[in-house]
Copies of this chain bind each other. A is one copy, B any other.
């Protein structure tokens, strides 16, 4: 019992290690190995919100507008976002993710997806269903 628990722990630890390597690889491929969690969180917010403006991002993150201007400036230098003027209102600018920005924003999920993909490859249909059944019991 105790043994099985320990073994399961090690198996999961290994999966998490692989997942972590995957997301580090994504950051490294984007040339952004030293991006901060805070920055990733900003990019995630931009990704989730869709048509997001400077004012709205300031509101959501509870920062002043100048802070957002600065943050976005840095992201533009990093080639993670660009600005797009709203066609209906010339005062408004939308913050848009570049391909790189989107990769970063979704790195966490995508790295898990990669690990799951590997799992699918190592198991046949029957085993896959079995695994799902077991994990369903847990959740």
Contact = CB atoms under 8 A, between A and B. Distances in A.
Number of copies: 2
Contacts of A1: 120, 125
A38 to B, nearest CB: 11
Contact of A4 (B113, B115, B128): B128
Given A5-B116, A119-B8, A15 B138 contact: yes
Interface of A: 1, 4-5, 7-9, 11-16, 37, 109, 112-113, 115-120, 122-123, 125, 127-132, 134-139
A7 B128 CA distance: 10
Classify the interface of chain A: helix, strand, loop or mixed: helix
Contacts of A139: 11, 14-15
Contacts of A125: 1, 4
A116 B12 contact: yes
B137 A4 contact: no
Given A134-B123, A138-B123, A116 B37 contact: no
A124 to B, nearest CB: 10
